Amino acid sequence: MNVRWIEFKDIVDKRNDERPMGHLTPIEGLKDVPFEIKRIYHITRVPENTIRGFHAHKALEQVLLCLNGNVKINVSDPFSKEIFVLDNPAKGLYIGPGLWREMYDFSPASVLMVLASDIYTEEDYIRNYREYTEYAYEKSKETANKI
């Protein structure tokens, strides 16, 4: 599956008196993430036991970072599934196109930030799981035919 961790810089500056100053993580489009960042959104104040997502994107690429707290993400296609725990603001999860995702176990006060390769369009979403599996099978056949 086209999903992987990206480790960003975690800059921990100390000034002259050696007191810690906190962490700074810069993220540049096309350099730290493999696409131009056209949209950023964040998800906050998620009530306990909420599961979000339940969709795939046809073309959109995303990087997800949990800036505070932690959250789990189940990424799957009809052939495999992986669960990722996001709990580090300097580590992003890249999710390529065509993968189903579900986000759950949002800790209280968690902040999930998403960097996206394109602006919002509902046409890029597949929200019906049956439709998604048919789409993913077709895509995998196309890929197999090209080899």
Catalytic residue IDs: 55
CB of residue 43 vs ligand TYD: minimum separation in angstroms? 6
Q: Which amino acid is at 109?
A: A
Q: How far apart are CA 3 and CA 99, in angstroms?
A: 9
58 three-state secondary structure = coil
Q: How far apart are CA 115 and CA 94, in angstroms?
A: 9
Task: Tell me which of 23, 26, 29, 120 binds ligand TYD, using CB under 6 A.
Answer: 120
Task: Provide the mask over 61-100, with x wherever binding to ligand TYD is found by CB under 6 A and - wherever it is not.
Answer: ----------------------------------------
Task: Tell me which of 52, 72, 91, 139 binds ligand TYD, using CB under 6 A.
Answer: 52
53 lines the binding site for ligand TYD (CB under 6 A): yes
Q: What are phi and psi of 19, to 5 degrees?
A: -80, 135
Q: Which stretch binds ligand TYD (CB under 6 A): 2-10, 52-60, 84-92, 136-144?
A: 52-60
Residues 27-46 that bind ligand TYD (CB under 6 A): 39, 41, 43
Q: Torsion angle, CA of 126/78/91/116, rounded to 10 degrees? A: -20
| Helix locations, the chain, DSSP H | 129-146
Hey, what are 9's tokens?
Answer: 């810089």
| Contacts to ligand TYD by CB under 6 A | 39, 41, 43, 52-53, 55, 120
